[in-house]
Amino acid sequence: MVVTLLALIVTGGVYVAYLDLIVQHKFAGKRWALPARVFARPVELYTGATISRDQLMAELKRQGYRRTDGAAEPGSYAASSHRVQLYSRGFDFPDLPELPRQAMITFNATQIENITLIADGTPIDLLRLEPLLIGSFYPSSNEDRLLVPLDKVPQPLISALIAIEDRQFYEHHGVSPRAIGRALWADIKAGKAVQGGSTLTQQLVKNFYLSPRRSLVRKANEAVMALLLELHYSKDEILEAYLNEVFLGQAGRRAIHGFAQGSQLFFGRPLAELSIDQLALLAGMVKAPTLYHPRRHPQRALERRNLVLTVLAQQGDISAEQSKALQAKPLGVVKQSAVGLSRYPAFLDLVRRQLRRDYPDEVLLSEGLSIYSTLDSSVQEIAEQGLQRRLQQLADRTDAGDQLQGAMVISAVASSEVLAVVGGRSPREDGFNRALDALRSIGSLVKPAVYLTALAQPERFHLDSILLDEPLSLERIGEEPWQPQNYGGEFLGEVPLLDGLLHSMNVPTVKLGLELGVPAVVETLEQLGLNRPVNQQPALLLGAIGMTPLEANQLYLTLAAGGFYTPQRAILSVADRDGKTLNRYPLRLEQTLDPRAVKLLQLALQEVARRGTARSLQWLLDSNLNLAAKTGTTDDERDSWLAGFSGNLAAVVWVGRDDNQPTGLQGATGALPVWADVMAKLPLIANSPSTDDQITWLQSGAGRAAITAPVGVDCPGGYGIPVMAEFTPAGARPCATSDGTDTELNRHPDINKPLKWLFNKIPWPYN
């Protein structure tokens, strides 16, 4: 008997000790697997920033800012026709914290005219909005949770929660016999289970440690563990855990836990910005989140909220009048929540791939990392809309119809930061990401690499070197000889090197490439950033290389950056859950090409956009931008490409079909209008026309290469040939350089006419 009793006590003691181990172990460590959160680059507001009032308001809407009359609280704004009054939220940026500020922003048509502090009218130099959350990488549990420390939880929420869930919270030791008794009494009176007697501590134990199974043993474990938890930890620690553990609803596949994320789910705003009635709703939902779901059961949710408000008034937390006024308010929940939504799946895909190089999945998906990306949400939105709209128009005009697809990548020239990635016509769907995964022949997009290889040998080639445009036949082992043709099937005899590029002529390009050697061209491609093995065949000179739009963008980034190669980046830095920076991805560059040769090529590509194959750009976009561009079309019009750049942005567009069938679109008729539509809406900086003192402009004659001379260079007819200064050919006559005031640039009357001569055999340059 005694032995049995002793054995029972020992067993019980061991069991309690075992439970104690569980309680302490899980509470002491990292309590939850937290999703990694990816942020867009923050919007910077400053005098002269190219952002319109509407763009700012769109951004504020994405951030869940409320439009009010006075903008008196953080996270709100007011707007008139050309001003926005803003109360920013502030953000603890890894480099420099940004405090909440009340600012008045004045706009002109396209820019911010000035920003002042509301309080005293002093100018604000720079205001950084908090970064937009664009998506998360979730742990396998699919739990979505945003941790909030106790001191950041609004007091009314805590009061409401304790008032309706566990009035004796601060008095009991984990279980409340009184509450259990009262619940029992209520159940007996009602004849069914109407009230739960669980304390907040028990609820926490139930959710945090135990399976959802209902049993008597589990109930006993719950009580013991609640007592143990209270023994080891303070009320504040338990409350904080509860506030972050509690389940509040489902967003798609994600289970939303904790009040901070619950606030985002139902109100689209941070917890700190909620009003008392909104906090009361959240507190009221705890009891049965599905039953009181404010979007699905608004009436029930409203009644529950009002009950909580009544209790708050009874307790004296709020006055009776206040309670009455709050009860009259609508629920105020947002129609659709951004929680669990990945806004830009194609871009997130790129972020995930770059992160996988440095972080194993168990860290990426559970450590609550903050990932600061390079995405520019406004550029991304413009690109998505532009591509979608124009592809729809093109689809209506071609046989491809709904099969017509496209992709676009836009990056910043200076830093190779990827600003926007569009993976297809339905950019919000997480499907095939063409920008990253569609490996397509780049066609004539490769040609600049051929011409750059030549221009990098200034002792042999300049833009006015003569190329032979004659029938060409290359023997191939076991195959028919390769006989490249020009588009249009004509041969012109002699053409200047520049014209081969301007009009994307195949035969002169192949001849030039063979002269240089295919390996030399491949080396140039590698210097531009090509990072995959290629088949070194002559057909490569016409673009028989498969590349993704992202890779094609990299090549043109290096061209745009004057021969400085900077690998594309989608991530700036990664911080852990405490905000400590774990990893930075700084700007790195390497000069892989002669900047002067690249400058000459840039000038040629600018001319492509004036009177070459991409000439329609000059009518679609401001010609003062001196945009540089190259079209690409592959056999039977299966792929339509346009790659190009302004002084600040490099963008590439691909249009084609997933099944690789012809679309009837060339580079200039498919990808070009998409590119132009998007770029027209972006803040562009002009390409410099060449002020480099290492470039000399030479006079051009009839039938010679000719590039539009910049202001300040006085070439006859307005056209000249730029060459590297120390490689000026003997006998060449330089253009006069003026101070730019001479406007009598008598443009050559014919030169701007489209290339009729190529197709109609009007030998214009040769007459």
Partner 1 sequence: MAIQQNSLALQLIRPGLVLLTALIVTSCGVDYSPAGFPDDGRIQTPLPPFEPAPGEPAHAPTTLPEPATAPAPPPVVATPPASTLLLASAREQMQAGNNQRAAATLERALRIAPNDPYLWHELAQVRLATGEWQQAIQLANKSRVLAGSDAELRRKNSDIIATASDRLQAN
Q: Judged by CB under 8 A, which of 26, 30, 67, 756 binds partner 1?
A: 67
Between CA 489 and CA 137 the distance in angstroms is: 53
Query: Mask 707-746, x = binds partner 1 (CB under 8 A)?
Result: ----------------------------------------
Rank residues 256 and 413 by Cβ distance to partner 1 and give the closer one: 413
Tell me the C-alpha distance between 465 and 298, whole Å: 76
**Per-residue x/- marks for partner 1, 84-103, CB under 8 A?**
-x--------xxx-------
Site for partner 1 in 683-702 (CB under 8 A): 685, 688, 691-693
Dihedral angle over CA of 339, 340, 346, 348, nearest 10:
90
- Interface stretch with partner 1, choices 76-84, 260-268, 724-732, 747-755 (CB under 8 A): 76-84
Q: Which is nearer to partner 1, 523 or 692 (CB)?
A: 692
Q: How far is the CB of 94 from partner 1 (least distance, A)?
A: 8
| Identified binder of partner 1 from the candidate list 2, 5, 80, 253, rule CB under 8 A | 80
Neighbours of 90 (CB within 10 A): 15
* Nearest-approach distance from CB 715 to partner 1, in angstroms: 20
The least CB distance from residue 738 to partner 1, in Å, is 16
Strand runs labelled E in 291-447:
370-373, 404-412, 418-422, 440-441
Instruction: For partner 1, give the closer residue by CB, 70 or 763.
Output: 70
Q: Which of 100, 123, 149, 401 binds partner 1 (CB under 8 A)?
A: 123
Tokens for 379? Answer: 């550029």
Q: Does 181 bind partner 1 (CB under 8 A)?
A: no
Minimum CB separation of residue 116 from partner 1 in Å reads 7
CA dihedral 670, 672, 675, 678 (to 10 degrees): -80
DSSP-derived secondary structure for 69-88? SS--STTEEEE-SSEEEEE-
Least distance to partner 1, CB of residue 382, Å: 17
Q: At CA 528, angle to CA 526 and CA 532, rounded to 5?
A: 40
CB within 8 Å of 315: residues ≥ 6 apart: 159, 163
For the segment 281-310, give every residue that binds partner 1 (CB under 8 A): none
Residue 435 and residue 626 in contact, taking contact as beta carbons nearer than 8 Å = no
**Beta-ladder partners of 496:** 466
* Eight-class DSSP state of 371: E
Active site residue 444: yes
Residue 726: its H or E element: none
48 binds partner 1 (CB under 8 A): yes
Instruction: Tell me the site size for partner 1, rule CB under 8 A.
Output: 59
* Radius of gyration for the alpha carbons in the chain, expressed in angstroms and rounded: 33
Contacting residue, 20, 31, 52, 68, with partner 1 by CB under 8 A: 68
CA atoms within 13 A on the CB side of 95: 7
Provide the mask over 632-651, with x wherever binding to partner 1 is found by CB under 8 A and - wherever it is not. ---------------xx---
Is residue 165 annotated as a catalytic residue, yes or no? Answer: yes
Q: Which stretch binds partner 1 (CB under 8 A): 118-126, 172-180, 312-320, 633-641?
A: 118-126
Q: How far is the CB of 413 from partner 1 (least distance, A)?
A: 6
Residue 244, CA distances (Å) to 26, 144, 346, 721 in order: 15, 11, 31, 68
Q: How far apart are CA 289 and CA 250, in angstroms?
A: 9
The stretch among 82-90, 347-355, 505-513, 549-557 that binds partner 1 (CB under 8 A) is 82-90
Shortest gap between Cβ of 556 and partner 1 (angstroms)? 16
- What is the DSSP track for 85-108? EEE---B--SSS-B---EEEEEE-
* Catalytic residue (choose from 88, 337, 366, 444): 444
Least distance CB 723 / partner 1 (angstroms): 18
Q: For residues 579 and 754, which CB has a smaller minimum distance to partner 1 in the complex?
A: 579
Q: In whole angstroms, give the CA distance from residue 239 to residue 219.
A: 21
Nearest to 18 by CA among 225, 232, 237, 234: 225
The yes or no reply on residue 238 touching partner 1 (CB under 8 A) is no
Q: Considering the complex, state which of residue 256 and residue 603 has its C-beta at the smaller distance from partner 1.
A: 603
Sole window of 44-52, 199-207, 428-436, 516-524 interacting with partner 1 (rule: CB under 8 A): 44-52
Q: How many residues does the chain have?
A: 767
234 makes contact with partner 1 (CB under 8 A): no
By rule CB under 8 A, what string of x and - marks binding of each residue 558-597 to partner 1? ----x-x-------xx----------x-xxxxxx---x--
Site string for partner 1, 533-562 (x = CB under 8 A): -----------------------------x
Exposure string for 103-125, b = 16+ CB within 10 A, e = fewer: bbbbbeeebbeebeebeeeeebe
By CB under 8 A, the residues from 354 to 383 that bind partner 1 are none
CA angle 473–516–510, rounded 5-degree value: 35
Give the nearer residue to partner 1 in terms of CB position, either 66 or 343.
Answer: 66
3-state secondary structure of 648: coil
Determine, following the binding rule CB under 8 A, whether residue 624 of this chain makes contact with partner 1.
no
Q: From the CB of 359, what's the least distance to partner 1, in Å?
A: 19
Q: Smaller CB distance to partner 1: residue 122 or 741?
A: 122
Give the residue with the Cβ less far from partner 1, 48 or 478. Answer: 48
Rounded Cα gap, residues 16 and 14, in angstroms = 5
Report how far residue 86's alpha carbon sits from residue 116's, in angstroms, rounded to the nearest whole number: 10
Q: Which is nearer to partner 1, 109 or 730 (CB)?
A: 109
If the CB atoms of residues 371 and 510 are measured against partner 1, the closer one turns out to be: 371
Phi, psi of 494 (to 5 degrees): -110, 130
In this complex, which beta carbon is closest to partner 1, that of residue 76 or of residue 666?
Answer: 76
Q: Which of 24, 111, 116, 752 is close enough to bind partner 1 by CB under 8 A?
A: 116
Query: Residue 99 and residue 130: Cα distance in Å, rounded?
Result: 10
Asked if 106 touches partner 1 (CB under 8 A), the answer is yes
Return the range that interacts with partner 1 (CB under 8 A); candidates 114-122, 198-206, 288-296, 520-528: 114-122
Q: What is the distance, to the nearest Å, from the Cα of residue 183 to the centroid of all Cα atoms in its chain?
A: 52
User: Does the footprint of partner 1 cover residue 413 (CB under 8 A)?
Assistant: yes
State the catalytic residue, choosing from 98, 130, 165, 551: 165
From 75-83, 396-404, 484-492, 539-547, span contacting partner 1 (CB under 8 A): 75-83
Give the span between the Cα atoms of 254 and 50, in whole angstroms: 37
Minimal distance, residue 456 CB to partner 1, in Å: 16
CA distances from 361 to 115, 353, 586, 707, 719 (A): 43, 11, 23, 53, 58
Residue 649's H or E segment, with its range, is strand 649-657
Region of 115-123, 158-166, 335-343, 724-732 interacting with partner 1 (CB under 8 A): 115-123
Pairing of strands 143-145, 254-257: parallel
Tell me how many helices (H) and strands (E) the chain has. Answer: 24, 33
C-alpha 24 chain-centroid distance: 41
- Going from the C-alpha of 172 to that of each of 180, 202, 231, 418, 606, the distances in angstroms are 12, 11, 11, 56, 78
Task: List the catalytic residues.
Answer: 165, 444
* Interface with partner 1 (CB under 8 A): 41, 44, 46-49, 66-72, 78-83, 85, 94-96, 104, 106, 113-114, 116, 118, 120-123, 125-126, 412-415, 417, 562, 564, 572-573, 584, 586-591, 595, 647-648, 685, 688, 691-693
